[in-house]
Structures are given as structure tokens and as C-alpha cells.
Structure 1
């Protein structure tokens, strides 16, 4: 199974870096943070352990934490299983609080997103970041993957370049003048404004204030 600790844990990413782990083996207190359940997401047994299953209609979790707030570099990883459904699914959203954006004189919507696009029995990744002075999407429809299987996805930023990966394989990259985001919250199963719901399951997410290379990503065993 995935090398993860139940609930929330902090594990060594390097001698100076810590990785925060959220394990979706529950519907409350994800990562030790207040969690609101909407719709009827359910816990399921999988070869990787417990996971949360979303129906693609109205299931979602809202978590009172932005785990990459303040990070100048980052790795955002997730282990999930897309099960088909609607073409556009925004399934993991980290959002800076609107009052923080307003206080900094910037428009709301500073965020990280994992999305997918689905066509028949295939999907492809859409990774996205937006903030003051940057607005970057990494989406490559030619790099498709089968639905109904477990995958590891990641997005990283090393101080100059933003990259996305599926199972450790680079999907694409772009130069970005990233600036750290402020405190906020997260949604899983839909975009934070309750649109583009996800049909599938989520097992784990990891957040590291460093750009990890693929050999240091979570592994599916």
C-alpha cells in the first residue's frame, strides 16, 4: 500500500524539509483540521487502504486549511482513482482566503488546483496555479490515461519552473514567477465554489515546501 500514516502525519522529506500528509481514511478531521461533508461521500476499501469515494454529483469535503500557504517552492501530490463521468472535473482545490487577497490589494482566486478532463474511458491531467502576477495551466490532452485505475499525480515548483507529473512521468512544464499564497482552505471532490464535481476516489495527499524530484514522490506498491 501507499507509504503513508493514517490521518495526518509529518514525515521527513529532507533534513530541512517536512511533508504534511493527509490520508483520506475518514470523513472528519482530515489532516487534523475541521472538515465539512456535503452530499454523501463514502469510505471504501481499496488495495491501498481506505479511501473516500465521490459520486460526481454533489459529494465534497471542505477542509479549513491551506497546507501550502507561505511556501516559496512546493510539491503537491495526490493519489486518486478517476472513474469517468463529466468532461471537466475539478477535484482538489487549495484556496487563499478572500480577505487575505483583498488586504493585499489583489483579486480573489489565488489558488492551486488539480483537475482532470475525461473523454470516454480516458482522462488527462490539468494542473493549475493562480496568484499575484501568475496564472498558469499545465494541460496536455495528448497524454491520456485509463479511467478506473489508481494514479499518483504531482505538481511542483522549484523557484523558476512549474511542472506536472502522472505516476512520476513529466506531463509538462512552464516558467512561472510564483509568489507564496496566504492562509485559506481546501475542497476535495469539487471546486471550492461547488462546481465541476469529481467521480472517483481519493486516498492521500502530500504537501512539501520544496520541489521534490520524482524519485522522492509517494509510491504505489
Structure 2
């Protein structure tokens, strides 16, 4: 049985091209940076975690919640093939129990903050908003999209951003944990505008303060799907 099942919905992915050297100290052992067209990306991602079950059981008051994370893209060569995955700088959720479970069992980098979200349908568009409060300051992501779903093109940047199926966690310089994430190929909603109001230094520290004045390379809104997260393993 999968460790976790859930629905990931309405993923707002704000993507920045950066120098891969800036991620060196965050890179989990046994992985290397995964590039697209020789470009290194970090992504600020806001989405909904719905209908969450741990080992088949719902946890009262912890089934539906927001998450915002800052992530980058890695790969690992094993048994003659590349495994493509993500590694997280920080994952923000609104409930302390979620942080405790993720950090204790999966050795992740979760932090608890007040959060809220909205999805407002207008005449010709939908506005998706994710907000989180850090040091009494609200940060926000707003992405406005068209209403009709479209396919994510093969060999596109959007495919690269959304089609990574492993998670890698750097516990320390010698230990990496790997887990598999399974989901079908996603569709997207065409983005028409966006607004990013984030204090990157306050939330993510000095290493990522440069994102404050960096324009995103792209912004994607993936509709998401049911996902499963399989049990972790320690890489030897």
C-alpha cells in the first residue's frame, strides 16, 4: 500500500532560470542537477493537497490544505536509466502535525505558517491565489488563467517542469532519501497574467534573495490529479 494518497490540484508553478552553482550546497548526495535545454530552474509552487490519506486512512482535520514550496530539479542514474526528480529548499504548510510527520518520517524541510487560498471564476478567466504569512507579513502568488484545459506539449518546458516522478531529500552531506511519486500526465490552463508578492529573503534566506528582482522565465498552471507517494528508501 502507498504511504500517502492525495489529490494535487491547481498547481501554480513560477519558474526561474538560475546558475546551477547556487544549488550546489542543497544538492542531495547521489543526484545531479537536471537541466532543460542547458537551463537550470528553481520553481516556486503553490497548490492544494486534497483528500489526503496516510496508509489508507484519513487524518481528522488534515485532509485538505495548501502547500507552497521552493524546489529544483535533479536526476539520478540507476540500473541503466535516469530517474528524474525534485529536491526541496522548503515546503510550507498550515498545520504543525503535517510538518512533524514530513520532517520526522520523510526527513523533509517543512515549515508551518498561516495560509489561505482562493480560486475565483470570472467571466473569461479563473484567478488562483495562494498566500502564506511569515513574520506577520503575507506573501502571495496570483495566477490568472483561461478556463479551458489544454495538453502539455511533449518535449516542452512545461513537460520538464511537471514530469518529475521522484523526490530526493538531503538529510545531511552523506545521506539522501528517495521516494517515488506516481500520477498521470497533467493538463494545464493557459496563463494570462500573474502577480508574485513574496519576500524571498524573509521566507527563504540569503541564498535566494536574488529571486526578489528576477523575472520568472515562465508561469504554468497545471490542473493536477490524484497522486500516490511510495515509501522512502535510503540511498547507499
Report if TM-score (shorter chain) is over 0.5.
no
Structure with the bigger percentage of helix? 2
Larger radius of gyration: 2
When normalised by structure 2's length, the TM-score is 0.28
Q: RCO (CA 8 Å, sep 6+): is it higher in 1 or 2? A: 1
When normalised by structure 1's length, the TM-score is 0.29
Structure with the bigger percentage of strand? 2
